[in-house]
Amino acid sequence: MKKRVLALLLAGVMALGMTACGSTAPEASGNGQEAPSQEGEIGETEKPADSGEGIQVGIVLPTKDEPRWIQDETRFGEILDEAGFTYQVLFSQGSSATEKTNVETLVSKGVKVLILCPQDSAAAASTVDYAADNGVTVISYDRLITGTAKLNYIVGFDSTSVGTAQGNYLIEQAGDKKGNPLYLYAGATTDENAFLFFEGAWQALQPKIADGTFVIKNSSEAEALSDTQELTREQMSAILGQITTDWDFEVSKSKAEANLTAASAADKGDVFILAPNDGTSRSIADVFAIDPDVTSYVITGQDAESASIQYIIDGKQSMTVLKDTRILSRAAVDMATEILESGKATTNATYDNGAGEIPMYQMEVLSVTKDTMQEYIFDSEYYNAADFTGLE
């Protein structure tokens, strides 16, 4: 099905001819072209109200402060230019208010499909409602949007499995040794994904915490729940309240520093660290690396950011979880294409976002370590090996 859509799309591009790409405002990018004739692309009943200025697909991403989202922007640009859609990408810079303004701007430009990665999963609900009430089909991109049944689709990875991969990696590295110091960190509590990542990691790690393989060193709330495999939302909130990084490099760094200051030399040694993503992982790793009482550390990550691939090559980060942004952005554009063509998209899962079961197109993740890097990162041409140092 998806292949069929792509083939149609490519045929459409050939018919339309490639159009020039020109960025607009600094916070925005897109091809800025006028909407091509919509016949045969979106069907007669779904022409944008404003056929002169109309943009077919609007994309709103959370922040330019993390390389991850800039990479998504690049991927979207490549795919949407190739597909010949009119589109615009806007960044919310960590603000739900800016996100709302961005969506209002795109709605006023006549977008038919909105691909929204929320800054705050719950706060985005009213923005989704606004877009939906204006006839826009809304896709929640990577991060979940909760609390609204007007959300049409979700496209993303299996976030619980990200945490499971991180937890399992720490378990493998610990082997049979008991009493390994464990430091836990999580994403922003405003991001629903952060709960799923932690939930997956906890389900993997908890039996190994209960049997003494790991000893939690930086969360009294997690320690108190050592024997609980299935955490309630309230229990997770209590833990995340202590270990959140807000997805922020500075918060990660100062939290790691505070944790190490509070810990005795006996709480250090060969340590294990659950870090939720690559940006936080690099910040936390840098802090642990310079503590004289830390003799070694194993640390997780997520997103396969290029800086973290270099950290893994250099032995400064242990693993990352690849959520292939080529596949993700392609899946979102395929979904948009199907919606524009037939009003309906292919899905393979559903997610209960608290207001309803939302159809989802879900994809699998891959664990990247020094051992799997060649295959998953370089052979697949995710990155070019020549751009990194220290590879033989």
Q: Which residues bind ligand GAL (CB under 6 A)?
A: 66, 68, 142-143, 187, 191, 193, 247, 277, 302-303, 323
The least distance separating ligand GAL from the CB of residue 26, rounded to whole angstroms, comes to 21
The least distance separating ligand GAL from the CB of residue 58, rounded to whole angstroms, comes to 19
Residue closer to ligand GAL by CB (options 183, 247) is 247
Give the DSSP per-residue string, 248-309: -HHHHHHHHHHHHHHS-GGG-EEEEEE-SSHHHHHHHHHHHHT-TTEEEEEE---S--HHHH
Residue closer to ligand GAL by CB (options 66, 334) is 66
Residue closer to ligand GAL by CB (options 196, 294) is 196
The least distance separating ligand GAL from the CB of residue 66, rounded to whole angstroms, comes to 5
* The one-letter amino acid at 357: E
What value does the CA radius of gyration of the chain take, rounded to a whole number of Å? Answer: 22
Minimal CB distance residue for ligand GAL:
193
- Distance CA(67)–CA(233), nearest Å, equals 30
Work out the widest C-alpha separation in the chain, in whole angstroms.
70
Strands 269-274, 180-184: pairing is parallel
The least distance separating ligand GAL from the CB of residue 4, rounded to whole angstroms, comes to 28
Residue closer to ligand GAL by CB (options 192, 338) is 192
Closest CA to 8 of 86, 84, 91: 84
Residues 6+ apart with CB under 8 A from 44: none
Looking at residue 49, the DSSP 8-state letter turns out to be S
The least distance separating ligand GAL from the CB of residue 331, rounded to whole angstroms, comes to 14
Residue closer to ligand GAL by CB (options 71, 134) is 71
The least distance separating ligand GAL from the CB of residue 327, rounded to whole angstroms, comes to 13
Residue closer to ligand GAL by CB (options 33, 189) is 189
Contacts within 8 Å (CB) and 24+ apart, 295-298: 295/268, 295/269, 295/270, 296/270, 296/271, 297/270, 297/271, 297/272, 297/273, 298/169, 298/170, 298/173, 298/174, 298/271, 298/272, 298/273
The least distance separating ligand GAL from the CB of residue 68, rounded to whole angstroms, comes to 4
Backbone angles phi, psi at 8, to 5 degrees: -60, -45
If phi over 0 gives left and psi between -120 and 50 gives alpha, with beta otherwise, what is residue 269? left
- Distance CA(116)–CA(72), nearest Å, equals 12
Residue closer to ligand GAL by CB (options 158, 303) is 303
The least distance separating ligand GAL from the CB of residue 343, rounded to whole angstroms, comes to 28
Residue closer to ligand GAL by CB (options 155, 294) is 155
